Amino acid sequence: MREEDLILLECLEDVYQTFENALKKAYQVRSIHVQKFEQLLVEIRSERRIFEDISIPARLIVEQLLESQFKVGQVALEAERLKQSFASVAYVKVEEFGTIYLKLGELEISWRDGNYSYYFYPDKVELRATDEKSAIKLLFSISFNRQTLERFPEILTSPNVIYVHPQLEKWIRKV
């Protein structure tokens, strides 16, 4: 784990502890805000799981999705018979056991990190089930950028990464 990851995890832990203490006080009050505090704790746990519970390739995908969400990019999706044209990312969250949930427009899809292999291209990623019976394609309006890729050199040796486009590989290797 990188030093910057440890700093972010420490910050998340601080925020979590603060909200947990506040929630104990808030339980004394009957208010809808108590449920909102509970929801915030769930969201903080999801953020922690990004660093702790999913593989490096899945984390790169999650960070690309978050970048699309916060930089007003869009993502399209193809999975089996489902097709979602380019839409805004409503949310990305990581639940227990490395299950990643993605909501694009009105469509929500999920996958379990450990059950998929990854194929990386400049503006898309393909996730194929290890049994090869299903696949998910995510197409990005904001392509992977060099700065982001350089932070994830481990994807070149990750056992669940099957393919990395040559241009992305050059950027990861800092060539």
Do residue 78 and residue 129 come from a single domain?
A: yes
Residue by residue, DSSP assigns 53-120 as: TS-HHHHHHHHHHHHHHHTT--EEEEETTEEEEEE-EEEEEEEGGGEEEEEETTEEEEEEGGGEEEEE
Do residue 62 and residue 44 come from a single domain?
A: no
Do residue 61 and residue 132 come from a single domain?
A: yes
Do residue 45 and residue 31 come from a single domain?
A: yes
Do residue 75 and residue 46 come from a single domain?
A: no
| Residue showing tokens 């699309």 | 68
Domain region containing 138: 56-175
Q: pTM (2 decimals)?
A: 0.89
Count helices and strands (H / E) in the chain: 5, 9
- pLDDT tens-digit series, residues 56-102: 999 999 999 999 999 889 999 999 888 999 999 999 999 999 999 99
Provide the number of structural domains found in the chain.
2
Among 37, 52, 67, give the residue marking a domain's end.
Answer: 52
Do residue 100 and residue 172 come from a single domain?
A: yes
Do residue 15 and residue 66 come from a single domain?
A: no
Q: What does the pLDDT read at residue 132? A: 79
Do residue 25 and residue 85 come from a single domain?
A: no
